Amino acid sequence: RAFSSCRNLKSVSIPSSVKIIESCAFDECRKLESLNLSDGIEVVEYDAFYSCSSLRELYIPPSVTSLGNQAFANCTALVNVVIDGKIESLEAGTFANCSNLKSVTLPESLGALRDYSSEYSYHPFYMCNRIEDVYFKGGVPSFDGTFSGNAQGHFLQKHANEWMSVIDPVTK
């Protein structure tokens, strides 16, 4: 909880020497607008950036292998998320209630997006009702209800450096 609820924190740059961002480290930093995660960070634990409600853009570097439950939940200003990490799955509520999220880019390493509704009552993108586009850098993973009721736009997969529509969100 090192910086939890810092009222005037607007910008954070985490160096590559940090390997783990511990749970609740920056939760409730409501004025945090800029976050730079350096390549070298491996784990972002649960609730690490919970309710950082001014954060608009998020880039997860290639070194990240794990994003914990609700790591970025309630980041209500978040519009764009790009995950380049080696993440194989997303936990329950990782981006829950990011109510302005419009674009998500998922890594090649992602194998599945699970609906955790039987365990926690929410999936990784629960209540992200404004998602317009979901980009898959690799194959399209199984997503077991993860975007049901959320995505209003397109699911796109990269083929020969071009993004192509692969799934109609209404039927998936």
Contact 72, 91 (CB under 8 A): no
**pLDDT (0 to 100) of residue 156:** 54
CA distance 128 to 98: 5
**pLDDT (0 to 100) of residue 132:** 84
Contact 39, 16 (CB under 8 A): yes
How many C-beta neighbours within 10 Å does residue 4 have? 15
3-state secondary structure the chain: CCCCCCCCCCEEEECCCCCEECCCCCCCCCCCCEEEECECECEECCCCCCCCCCCCEEEECCCCCEECCCCCCCCCCCCEEEECCCCCECCCCCCCCCCCCCEEEECCCCCECCCCCCCCCCCCCCCCCCCCEEEECCCCCECCCCCCCCCCCEEEEEECCEEEEEECCCCC
The CA angle 77-80-81, to the nearest 5 degrees, is 110
**pLDDT (0 to 100) of residue 124:** 84
**pLDDT (0 to 100) of residue 27:** 97
**Which pTM value belongs to this model?**
0.84
| CA nearest to 93, candidates 32, 31, 48, 142 | 48
**pLDDT (0 to 100) of residue 50:** 97
pLDDT beneath 70, residues of the chain? 112-121, 139-172
**pLDDT (0 to 100) of residue 53:** 97
